[in-house]
Amino acid sequence: MRQTARAMAPFVHTLRVRYHECDAQGIVFNAQYFAYFDIAMTELWRAAFERSYATMIADHGIDMVVAEATARFLGSARFDDLVDLEAQITRLGTTGITTRMRVLRAGELLVEGELRHVFVDATSWTSTPMPTAVRSALGRFAAPS
- For the chain, strand residue ranges (E) read 3-4, 11-16, 62-73, 82-92, 96-105, 108-121
pLDDT of 53? 81
Inform me whether the pLDDT recorded for 142 exceeds 50.
yes
Whole-prediction pTM: 0.90
Superfamily of domain 3-139: Hotdog Thioesterase (3.10.129.10)
Confidence of residue 75 (pLDDT cuts 50, 70, 90): very high
User: What are the tens digits of pLDDT across the range 14-59?
Assistant: 999 999 999 999 999 999 999 999 999 999 999 998 877 887 888 8
